[in-house]
Amino acid sequence: MAASATTSTLAVTMFGYPNRNYHLKPPATATLRFWRSAAAAAVATSRREAEAEEADEVRRCLAPARLEVLEQMEPWVEAHVLPLLKPAEEAWQPADLVPDAAALGADGFHAACVELRGRAAGVPDAHLVCLVGNMVTEEALPTYQSMANRFESARDVTGADATAWARWIRGWSAEENRHGDVLNRYMYLSGRLDMRQVERTVHRLIGSGMAMHAPASPYHGFIYVAFQERATAISHGNTARNVRAHGDDALARICGAIASDEKRHEAAYTRVVERLLEADPDTTVRALAYMMRRRITMPAALMDDGRDADLFAHYAAAAQQAGTYTASDYRGILEHLIRRWRVAELEAGLSGEGRRARDYVCALPQKIRRMEEKAHDRAAQMRKRPTAIPFSWIFDKPVDLMLP
């Protein structure tokens, strides 16, 4: 989720909010109820059609022949995916990156905290908002492990399975768990944030869950996670660069360490989809088109602090303006995956639907680019002024945002 007003509308769309263009205007007051009813019926029909399409998509991808592909990949996962995990003895831990009272002693810990707060004081509020949004997203890990465990033929059935798929899910989750932990500790020590509000946001997000299209299908699920891991790596990497520019090298190291993990995880899920495209190109490319038609919704799209009804949209706008995650990043991720997976070269094994899906996906980046250009032109014409949006995470201090 750099830019300013130019792509704020597009950024919210790319972050996962659907367009809501139901502008049916009644020709006269007397027919207002008729048009409202027609609009509601159109929306309901569209929703039913989407649900029916998703059910059909899930049935197709959960057919025995499709699931057998995943089962046969088990030895390959053992050889090519599991090695991307780091043993606990070699992996960095939060205590390596934030002051440790036991290791430093009382005086040393106090001095380290004073130094940390001094550096944190130079980070602008807008970047803090982006940091909190990233941290809240990371802290909702229980939801993500639950979602990954829904992928048929690739899940951990007992909670302690010895299969390669199950060990990957648990190992991936173990590495991800450190991300929210270290960011939480940094924020607590920085003194810049209302930690109770941050913690309530995490609590609410985990309670709300997340929405992902075709969540039981491993084809769709691995495509989603491959995209998301790259998005997360970009977001943390950009945050590292931004805060380093404002003098907080310690926070930059934290965000850089997280980004490095996310790149390994991205490599794993990208390899899985690559393998699926080799083994079952038609099903996989159709799943890719299906996911892109509905957009890759962000995992924290349901975040809620109990105060701001549009919290996620405001966080997305802040990330866009700060250059943490932008609409251009969304397009760039898609372009990268199309190249990496050689989607344009797919031919053998594709049905008519598969070829249409391939063509749709390959044409999509240019469509998104045109949307960016139109959003830029509209913003230039409108010359909108920023809106001051208070964020409870930073004690209700306002951040100037360009909103749609």
Cα 140 from chain centroid (whole Å): 12
Known binding residue 115? Answer is: no
Residue 325 structure tokens: 């995650």
Known binding residue 213? Answer is: no
What is d(CA 335, CA 273) in angstroms, rounded to the nearest whole number?
15
Task: Give the model's pLDDT for residue 4.
Answer: 38
- Of the given ranges (16-30, 141-155, 199-213, 389-403), which has the lowest mean pLDDT? 16-30
pLDDT at 294 over 60: yes
Known binding residue 229? Answer is: yes
Going by C-alpha positions, the residue among 391, 397, 394, 389 that lies closest to residue 190 is 394
The mean pLDDT value for 73-90 works out to 98
> Out of 6, 232, 270, 324, which one is annotated catalytic?
232
* Contact criterion met (CB below 8 Å) for 302 and 205: yes
Task: Give the model's pLDDT for residue 39.
Answer: 52
> Out of 13, 143, 179, 341, which one is annotated catalytic?
179
76 is catalytic: no
Task: Give the model's pLDDT for residue 15.
Answer: 54
DSSP state string for 304-322: --SS-TTHHHHHHHHHHHH
Known binding residue 179? Answer is: yes
Which residues are within 8 A (CB) of 36 and not within 5 positions of it... i.e. 6 or more apart? 24, 26
Task: Give the model's pLDDT for residue 1.
Answer: 39
pLDDT at 331 over 50: yes
pLDDT at 275 over 90: yes
* Strands of 344-384, DSSP E: none
Known binding residue 335? Answer is: no
- What are 48-76's pLDDT values in tens digits? 777 787 788 888 899 999 999 999 999 99
Known binding residue 110? Answer is: no
5-19+69-401: what CATH class? Answer: mainly alpha
pLDDT at 25 over 50: no
What is d(CA 11, CA 376) in angstroms, rounded to the nearest whole number?
12
> Out of 156, 262, 304, 329, which one is annotated catalytic?
262
92 is catalytic: yes
> Out of 74, 92, 152, 199, which one is annotated catalytic?
92
Task: Give the model's pLDDT for residue 11.
Answer: 52
Phi, psi (degrees; rounded to nearest 5) at 101: -60, -40
The mean pLDDT value for 26-52 works out to 57
Q: What is the CA radius of gyration of the chain?
A: 22
Which residues are within 8 A (CB) of 344 and not within 5 positions of it... i.e. 6 or more apart? 338, 358, 362
Residue 154 structure tokens: 């690739």
> Out of 57, 139, 156, 176, which one is annotated catalytic?
176
What residue spans define the domains of the chain?
A: 5-19+69-401
Residue ranges in 191-280 assigned as alpha helix (H): 195-208, 218-245, 249-279
310 is catalytic: no
Phi-psi region of 325 (alpha: psi -120 to 50; beta: other; left: phi over 0): beta
The mean pLDDT value for 270-294 works out to 97
Taking the model in full, what pTM does it have?
0.88
> Out of 139, 156, 175, 261, which one is annotated catalytic?
261
138 is catalytic: yes
* Confidence band, pLDDT 50/70/90 cuts, at residue 279: very high
Task: Give the model's pLDDT for residue 388.
Answer: 97
